[in-house]
Chains A and B, each alone.
Chain A
Amino acid sequence: MAVKTLTIDGKPVSAEENETILQAATDAGIKIPTLCHLDGLSEVGACRLCITEVSGSNKLLPACVTKVAEGMEVKTNSERLQKYRLMILELLFAERNHVCAVCVANNHCDLQNLAAEHGMTHVRFAYQYPNVPVDASHDWFVMDHNRCILCTRCVRVCDEIEGAHTWDVMGRGTNSRVITDLNQPWGESETCTSCSKCVQVCPTGALSSKGKSVAEMEKRRDFLPYLVQQREGRP
């Protein structure tokens, strides 16, 4: 396989031909913020946090789906990108009811961490306070739509890794919701295998295990690259 050399934030980096900017940057120790991306799942390029500036392109390109090219010059952290990322995070916080202080995932939340990293002190956009339900019908898990950011990690892990495809998305625009089966209560789902992969990959407190109180829901994601590696290794 051919190797490409490129520069990311002024640093010369080599990468394999089919790698994405995100993979090349991670290998080189350059951190690009991500939210919908998770190692081991397919890329959807939806959260737009990993946007980068690539010389020669007037568009901002998401690092998770953009392939490296020879001589590419990538900027991952310009002032403009930082500004956009902060706005995207603020939009997310304003969209649903994210209250860290009472959240099971407090201190273990990807969204919260990103907000802290980007110096988000307050939200400038109008809070939407949507009236969305909590589904606690499953014996072991809870889905709280108030904390969902529609990253679709649960949808992808259920479809791609577990193979059950219990989760999907319904509705459109800001009315989109993740649903189980055909929008039945999770506890009544006929396809759910209760494997808990969705709960573990969820970046926020939207999916959690029952019995966890504030700040107790730590997610365990190390199984994912392991599973993928085991499957790809099989003949």
Chain B
Amino acid sequence: MLLEELKGIAEKEKAGRKQICVRCCMSAGCMSSQSAEIKQVLEKAVADRQLGDRVEVRRVGCMGLCGQGPLVSIEPEGLLYERVTPENAATIVETLAGGTTSAQRGDLTQPFFARQVAVVSRNGGRIDPERIEDYIEAGGYGALHHVLHELQPADVVVAITQSGLRGRGGGGYPTGLKWATVAKSKGERKYVICNGDEGDPGAFMDRSVLESDPHSVIEGMAIAGYAVGANMGYLYVRAEYPLAISRLQIAIRQARQRGLLGDALFESTFNFNVEIRIGAGAFVCGEETALMASIEGRRGQPRPRPPFPAESGLWGFPTLINNVETFANIVPIIIRGAEWYAGLGTEKSKGTKVFALTGKIKNNGLIEVPMGITIREIVEDLGGGAPDGAKIKAVQTGGPSGGCIPAHLFDTPVDYDSLMKVGSIMGSGGMVVMDDTTNMVDVARFYMQFCMEESCGKCIPCRAGTVQMYQLLNKILERQATIKDLEQLEELCDLVRNTSLCGLGQTAPNPVTSTLRYFRNEYLALLQPETGGYGVDAKQPADAKVAL
């Protein structure tokens, strides 16, 4: 592949484009409500109306407003149709021939769309994820060419460092620093791993990126491989994401056919290949050392660090491991420059973050917002507040490793450090909104059950401690617990946080500690009164009573 050929593909694609494009979302959310059939209906309607010379129907990735799916949009008119059905899909095409439609109109200018900054999701809802030509037309693989021919590996690392990008898997480790460490590590071979084992309840950012724009992740991995000196990449994707896996397989096959993966990319001396590894259903395999053990074919269990993967990773070789969203940020940084990227977000948290907005909120779906936006803006402006005018009580971020942020702290800016300060974490991007019908002890129990079931069983505090904590939370919810049980719960939180082997155990108490911090009254109200529970403590505010 040469640059001319790449440009040739893009030009040929542009020339073949029709005047009007009907985009049909074919991401997992919309597909589960029949968007595949809708696309067929749309195509048939175009053929029946003989509009084929000026209208094309395109399969696209996620448009974001998943709660209103299936979504169909019409470009360049900028029209959005929500909750489309196979029955009314044909009438959408009729409008292009002067007809009318009964399909529900959406508003692309509403804050949900207008307030977003599309970096990672730049191609989502625009390109066909199963056609490499679409990606190339959108400028795809240009960054890889630029890197291979204009930059030294060290320059790439510098660019990523200057961009201020931090790991989007949740930890927030500076990506540039990680790349520099792997680049400097000595090894006969090196590996790049993309962590696509997204498993937080309510989180689907990475799935959406992989389904909507698989090539941007592959290109990001290839650039990383060049920067750190690795020739082999593994995409670790959980088995629960069959559509993402199949689109990645298509993307990898197409990239190989076009010579964009393999040997001597763009006639340089750089070789890079990617393979997919499919997880087997363990949440803990999202932890990097467990993930690598799983790729190696061993039991997916974490091991103590150090040594860190950058020094001794896959089969003992230096390994760069980043999250899907992190890799999807690489191409824009290379193309638009580190300075542009560093201009987005806050001082210590640069760029944008994709969140999966779920729960008791009007606009369920995927959003990409600049760092530093407040939780209130996300919930009230983009999310549209609670449905049916209910009162929002808290937002849970960071999944089972995160915490609940109460409504009075909604002016907290969304960045790594601020969220940590209020007792939660950025996490991978799950954001579950809860209204005042939600019992926070029940929420804590849900997450504790998740951690208990997903504990790998290697270290004792996490294996046995989560069981005890889950049972104590059950006891509290059954109104059988005393103040002593609550004390024991807190002691266990302290133990498990401080003594567990890996991140799963160390953060497992967070949902309990954060709800205890802000909603202690809900716990106290459930305790046996004679032992210091709510019933005898008149000092507690009246609103602490819980609706069960």
**Which residues of A pack against B, CB within 8 Å?**
43-48, 51, 59-60, 62, 65, 67, 84, 87-88, 91-92, 94-95, 124-126, 128, 149-150, 168-169, 171-176
Contact = CB atoms under 8 A, between A and B. Distances in A.
Contacts of A46: 458-460, 501
Given A84-B495, A87-B495, A48 B460 contact: yes
Given A88-B499, A94-B468, A172 B282 contact: yes
B471 A126 contact: yes
B466 interface: yes
Nearest to A126: B471
Given A91-B461, A150-B460, A173-B455, 11 more contacts: A43-B304, A46-B459, A62-B304, A92-B460, A95-B460, A95-B463, A150-B457, A173-B452, A174-B457, A176-B456, A176-B463
B264 interface: no
Given A124-B488, A169-B299, A172-B456, A92 B464 contact: yes
Nearest to B451: A173
A91 B464 contact: yes
B457 A91 contact: no
Contacts of A84: 495, 498-499
Contacts, number: 91
B499 A174 contact: no
B520 interface: no
Given A47-B460, A88-B499, A173 B468 contact: no
A95 B498 contact: no
Contact of A126 (B306, B465, B468): B468
Most buried by B among A44, A87, A124, A128: A87
Contact of A87 (B284, B304, B452, B491): B491
A47 B457 contact: no
Nearest to A85: B499
A88 B495 contact: yes
A22 B379 CA distance: 50
Contacts of A126: 468, 471
Given A48-B499, A84-B498, A174 B304 contact: no
Contacts of A45: 303-304, 459, 501
A202 to B, nearest CB: 16
B303 A172 contact: no
A158 to B, nearest CB: 15
B457 A176 contact: yes
Interface residues of B, number: 31
Which are the 6 A-B pairs with shortest beta-carbon distances?
A176-B457, A91-B464, A45-B304, A173-B455, A65-B304, A48-B499
B377 interface: no
Interface of B: 282, 284, 299, 303-304, 306, 452-461, 463-468, 471, 488, 491-492, 495, 498-501
Contacts of B284: 172
9 contacts: A48-B461, A67-B306, A94-B464, A126-B468, A150-B458, A172-B457, A174-B455, A174-B463, A176-B456
Nearest to A60: B498
B438 to A, nearest CB: 26
A214 to B, nearest CB: 26
Contacts of A88: 460-461, 495, 499
Nearest to B499: A48
A175 B499 contact: no
Given A124-B488, A174-B452, A51 B457 contact: no
Task: Among B284, B454, B460, find the residue whose CB has the most chain A CB atoms closer than 10 A.
Answer: B460
A13 to B, nearest CB: 21
A173 B458 CA distance: 8
Contacts of B453: 172-173
B299 A175 contact: no
Nearest to A155: B299
Contacts of A168: 299
B542 to A, nearest CB: 33
Contacts of A67: 306
B312 to A, nearest CB: 13
B468 A125 contact: yes
